[in-house]
Structure 1
Amino acid sequence: MAKPNPRKKPACSHGLLLLSATLFVLLLIWTLSSNRFHLARFLHSYLTDPIDKTISNGVPDSPDKTFYDDPELSYSIEKPLKNWDEKRRKWLQLHPSLAAGAQDRILLVTGSQPSPCKNRIGDHLLLRAFKNKVDYCRIHGHVILYNNLYLHPKMDSYWAKIPIIRASMLAHPEVEWIWWVDADAIFTDMEFKLPIEKYRNHNMVVHGWPKMVYGDKHNKSWTGLNAGLLLLRNCQWSMDLMKEWAKMGPISAHYEKWGKILKSAFKDKPFPLPDDQSSLIYLLFTERERWEEKTYLEWEYDLEAYWVGVVEGYEEVGEEYKEMEEEEKGLRRRHSEKESAWYGRQREDYMKRKGVKKRRAFMTHFTGCQPCSGDHNPSYDGEKCWKEMERALNFGDNQVIRNYGYIHNDLHTSSVSLVPYDYPWFDLY
């Protein structure tokens, strides 16, 4: 009698496997469909959520020569860089693991002065403001760089951003965007995600108003845009812009002359020496044909909001968001921090569906407060500046520590309370 072949399965086994798989899928769909919100979440995350784009430290370098091997390469803002697009493209080709997803990758760059703050609470405020940025970057998968050095001895204060942005482009060819954020700008909507796709045809994004930047040149304002927050694409266009921009700064032999030109162009400019902001506006409107097409002046949402008009409304807008969650149970469900961005998208959908217009400012910018030096705008009360910065930090922090089970019940204090299950349906302990 022939021995049975142990490798040969019964003919019906394939049918049983197919039946079992079908039953499993039907059971899964039935289970998920019992809750519309969670079914949508499952399908959306499975089909569309991108793979984590954070980069490991163990990426090997290519043995082929790259722009880094060029002895003439300079990181200095004073030496022009040519053919950067081609250099970067070739580098990415040699590093395919880093090239994947590069078109959406963002490096947030921020920083402060090299020396300790003169203001008694300045270092504390800067530390908390840095934590605020780290929290946002962790939630949204961005890399962050904090710089506290003047990479050029003359390029200090607000001019210090240009050398570090340029050096960051060279140090991070795997990054598409460099996002400069001033130290005194605080994220106050941790869920909001930059609409990068909106800027696909542009190389610079800055909060500003086209009429104020490109309008009547005889009646211009130096506040037509705010250069404290800007996105620059990692490309030759940006390199060229920074080269021209820096020529109006302290490294220029005509620095004082530029100050007189800018003071004449902007009647409301309060000081005679050139600053980065009025210099950028001047560059944009005097060479409009060169820079305008690739510059996006964002005014449709608060890329950064002037603090004076925002801080007093934190409690009111906070109540608006609590009301959303009281109505939509799915929005208030406890979740991991990694899922925060997904819940942010659901909130956006809810707000559009319900026509909600009052929303948290994406970022609150404490322009003129000078938390480190303490040399605030004389029209402000210094103590009010510091207290409102603390409230803004606590407002943003609430959106982070809630995922850890706590919340600041009072924005005036760093004390926290436990968050009960199904909050805000139930009151805080």
Structure 2
Amino acid sequence: MLSPEEKPSPFQTRTSPTTKTFAIRTKPSLLSDSFLFAAGASVSLFLVWALSDSFNPTPDLSSFNSTPLKCAGSAQSTINLNLHPDPPTANFYDDPNLTYSFKNTIKNWDFKRQDWLRQHPEFTSVGHADRILLITGSQPSPCKNPIGDHLLFRLFKNKVDYCRINGYDIFYNNALLNPKMGHYWAKLPIIRAAMLAHPEIEWIWWVDSDASFTDMDFRLPLAKYKSHNLIVHGWPREIYERKSWVGLNAGVFLIRNCQWSMDFMDVWANMGPQSPEYEKWGEIQQSVMKNKRLPESDDQAALVYFLLEEKGKWGNKIYLESDFYFEGYWVEIVGTLANVTEKYRELERGVRRLRRRHAEKVSGYYGEIREEHMKGWGIGQGSLRRPFITHFVGCEPCSGTHNEIYTWESCREGMERALNFADDQVLRNFGFGREDLLDVGTVVPREYDFPA
């Protein structure tokens, strides 16, 4: 945990050193029994084909449609850029009292959002309830650390890669929307504004700038959270029995775009530095959480407080995720990544289907096939599954004022390992890869049928 003297940079938080689990993939259910039967039959036949290790790696191209796609300039290449026209009918945007800040409360948001969606039915197709906007960011000024801006760039690229592969939107913010809400509180104003700016989005996913995706195929088990509005990495025993400040981590979380979230963020923000009772809340948090060392009120301690003191009001809609590395403590992870890579390659050597070249857009399908062969791999520290998100809490890549329990060399090397580990997964679909997780600049071509 951070010492009282350390000031986290904007958009970053703290973590628990007791993270213990790796990713498990959960599959959402289909919409109806009839559709389930039909889809199940089709999927079963498809998986029988997909999981077979005797497919022909060089299919007969003569059976393909011989009609070529047209390049730019042809009649078939015309694109309608105005994909989502806005009808003239009034909606919540026409309310002069609407504010994107915490100045005024938002009321009847569920109705207003639903009304907007009725005006824009193109956003209510199958799967709209899984639509995600990932938000991350950093401070407005250049980094003090000489390589800080480079590291933030690579960390952002990692998030862009993940979102592109998995079909999520992403927004990078480096403006303090409320100058009084700096450091770890800076995330709340942009999340609130994003809910209003994107009524088509069901989930806002906050990911700290110092966190890296390290499993590019894993997707959040959203069906698991259908009865909840806030998903955060945490451990019930640490919170309810030990009343620990680090019983959860507020650096990565999902929050649903709904009225509950609007109300919750209002009370959450009221513990922040813009509140006249800011100092009082810091004292209250320390009285409830004896291991809290930061004297001022912070967003993470506020979440623990709500679960402990106002569980009946908020707790039933907050899900503490501990079944996979929703955000994982980097010290536990980075030393295992080379072994994880070799374990996955060993699996691919035995399953030809997993070695098949494919388009990036269908990577998730091959991830599902891989999962069928990973049963029994286990979870937790020591497992050789890819960790979903690796969080470099305490490293402060931008300011360089890392936690004194680490060296800067260990932080930098850890980030390079994690980022190159993820980038190797990305480059695979472009025909290249990385052999050395500490060699940033060198990539090698991947031969046909790699890694056989």
Question: Which interval holds the TM-score relative to the shorter structure?
Answer: 0.7 to 0.9
SS at match of 1:264: helix
C-alpha displacement of 1:384: 1.2
Match of 2:338 in 1: 315
Q: Which runs of 4+ in 1 moved over 3 A?
A: 32-39, 353-357
Match of 1:424 in 2: 451
Match of 2:387 in 1: 361
Match of 1:329 in 2: 352
Task: Summarize deviations over 1:348-378 as a string: whole Å, max 9, x none.
Answer: 1221277795301000000111111111111
Match of 2:428 in 1: 402
CA contact (8 A) 1:78 1:243 kept: no
CA contact (8 A) 1:107 1:179 kept: yes
Task: Summarize deviations over 1:282-324 as a string: whole Å, max 9, x none.
Answer: 1222110011111110001111110011100001111111111
SS at match of 2:427: helix
Counterpart residue identity of residue 76, structure 1: S
CA contact (8 A) 2:51 2:369 kept: no
For residues 90 and 33 of structure 1, do their structure 2 counterparts lie closer, same or farther at Cα, with a shift above 3 Å needed?
closer
CA contact (8 A) 2:50 2:353 kept: no
Counterpart residue identity of residue 137, structure 1: C
SS at match of 1:222: coil
Match of 2:210 in 1: 184
CA RMSD, Structure 1 to Structure 2 (Å): 2.0
**Superposition pairs of residues 217-296 of structure 1, within 5 angstroms:** 219-296=242-319
Task: Summarize deviations over 1:157-191 as a string: whole Å, max 9, x none.
Answer: 11011000000000000000000000000000001
SS at match of 2:86: coil
Which of 217, 221, 227 does residue 195 from structure 1 map onto?
221
C-alpha displacement of 1:422: 1.0
For residues 255 and 130 of structure 1, do their structure 2 counterparts lie closer, same or farther at Cα, with a shift above 3 Å needed?
same
Match of 2:199 in 1: 173
TM-score, structure 2 length as denominator?
A: 0.80
Which of 379, 384, 409 does residue 405 from structure 2 map onto?
379
Identity, % of aligned positions: 56
CA contact (8 A) 1:77 1:243 kept: yes
C-alpha displacement of 1:270: 2.3
Greater shift, 347-356 or 267-276, is seen at 347-356
C-alpha displacement of 1:235: 0.1
For residues 196 and 381 of structure 1, do their structure 2 counterparts lie closer, same or farther at Cα, with a shift above 3 Å needed?
same
Structure number with the higher helix fraction is: 1
CA distance, structure 2, for counterparts of residue 419 and residue 57 of structure 1: 40
SS at match of 1:93: helix
C-alpha displacement of 1:37: 6.1
Match of 1:211 in 2: 237
Greater shift, 398-407 or 267-276, is seen at 267-276
CA distance, structure 2, for counterparts of residue 251 and residue 87 of structure 1: 28
For residues 38 and 102 of structure 1, do their structure 2 counterparts lie closer, same or farther at Cα, with a shift above 3 Å needed?
farther
Greater shift, 263-272 or 276-285, is seen at 263-272
Work out whether 1:159 is the aligned partner of 2:185: yes
- The number of aligned residues is 378
CA contact (8 A) 1:310 1:364 kept: yes
CA distance, structure 2, for counterparts of residue 72 and residue 185 of structure 1: 37
**Superposition pairs of residues 71-110 of structure 1, within 5 angstroms:** 71-100=96-125, 101-110=127-136
CA contact (8 A) 2:139 2:174 kept: yes
Note the residue ranges of structure 2 that are not aligned, 5 or more in a row. 1-44, 56-79
CA distance, structure 2, for counterparts of residue 293 and residue 198 of structure 1: 14
Match of 1:65 in 2: 90
For residues 33 and 136 of structure 1, do their structure 2 counterparts lie closer, same or farther at Cα, with a shift above 3 Å needed?
closer
TM-score, structure 1 length as denominator?
A: 0.85
CA contact (8 A) 1:37 1:330 kept: yes
C-alpha displacement of 1:38: 9.0
CA distance, structure 2, for counterparts of residue 402 and residue 34 of structure 1: 20
For residues 229 and 355 of structure 1, do their structure 2 counterparts lie closer, same or farther at Cα, with a shift above 3 Å needed?
closer
Match of 2:75 in 1: none
CA contact (8 A) 2:245 2:301 kept: yes
For residues 286 and 62 of structure 1, do their structure 2 counterparts lie closer, same or farther at Cα, with a shift above 3 Å needed?
same
For residues 207 and 35 of structure 1, do their structure 2 counterparts lie closer, same or farther at Cα, with a shift above 3 Å needed?
closer
CA contact (8 A) 1:284 1:292 kept: yes
CA distance, structure 2, for counterparts of residue 379 and residue 33 of structure 1: 52
SS at match of 1:274: coil
CA distance, structure 1, for counterparts of residue 244 and residue 146 of structure 2: 33
Note the residue ranges of structure 1 that are not aligned, 5 or more in a row. 1-28, 40-54
